[in-house]
Amino acid sequence: MAEQLLAAGDAALDTCWRLPLDDEYAEALKSNFADMGNVGGRAGGAITAACFLRKFTGRYPWAHLDIAGTAWKSGADKGATGRPVGLLTEFVLSRASRDEAGRSSAGRPTRRSR
């Protein structure tokens, strides 16, 4: 999924990049008061957020798109940027066309796509 998201970002001119998901970042989620915290501190915030998600999504394909720093403009150009709408649109369209290519004319999955 990561490679597909990276390719979609390139195609949409809405670039993205992979961040590390090392266990050392998950250490920041340890808590004295709960099973785990939901905020890991300022350093590596996007990474610790992904570590938090990984805890609950382990058996599903998933991605964490941290758009906090790019979703809004401030100053005279204040407002929403629309990021990552282009990336996500390209990602969904490419998956839909890939899925459609794996179907027969009757609309059933072909042997190749299973």
pLDDT in tens, the chain (114 residues): 999 999 999 999 998 998 888 888 777 778 778 777 777 766 778 888 888 888 889 889 999 898 888 888 889 989 998 889 999 999 999 999 988 888 645 555 555 544
Give the pLDDT of residue 22. 82
Residue 20: its pLDDT value, please?
Answer: 85
SS (H, E, C) 54-91: HHHHCCCCCCCCCCCCCCEECHHHCEECCCCHHHHHHH
Measured in residues, the chain has a length of: 114
Q: Are 5 and 64 in contact (CB under 8 A)?
A: no
pLDDT of residue 90: 96
Contact 48, 39 (CB under 8 A): yes
pTM above 0.75, yes or no: no
Query: Is the four-CA dihedral 104, 93, 49, 2 of positive or negative sign?
Result: positive
**Joined tokens for residue 48:** 């610790």
